[in-house]
Amino acid sequence: MDKRDLSIKEFLEDKLNRYLKEMTKLESCNLYDTVLSEVEKALIAIVLKETKGNQLKAAKTLGINRNTLRAKIKEYKIK
């Protein structure tokens, strides 16, 4: 399979499987919230970079309200 044909789901499954294999205390972590927040933080940062910091364009690209985006930027301390 060409890597360009890899779906987001397949990509994430691969990365999460590798991550979980490296974790030693899986039972005591808050995996769901950790993964969601890290993916969300990375996604917002990437989209902001691609839109050259234009929050309105980034919010539209992400499909979220601009105020929600601003709150997430503040929450995750994204520059």
Count the neighbouring beta carbons within 10 Å of the beta carbon of residue 49: 11
Residue of higher predicted confidence among 63 and 33:
63
78, 45 contact by CB (below 8 A): yes
Residues 8-32, mean pLDDT to the nearest whole number: 84
Assign 57 a pLDDT band (cuts: 50, 70, 90). very high
| Amino acid occupying residue 55 | Q
15-18: which pairs have CB atoms within 8 A and are 24 or more residues apart?
none
CATH T-level fold of 8-76: Arc Repressor Mutant, subunit A (1.10.10)
Of 45, 39, 47, the residue nearest 19 (C-alpha) = 39
- pLDDT value for 79: 86
Residues 54-68, mean pLDDT to the nearest whole number: 99
Q: What percent of the chain has pLDDT over 90?
A: 72
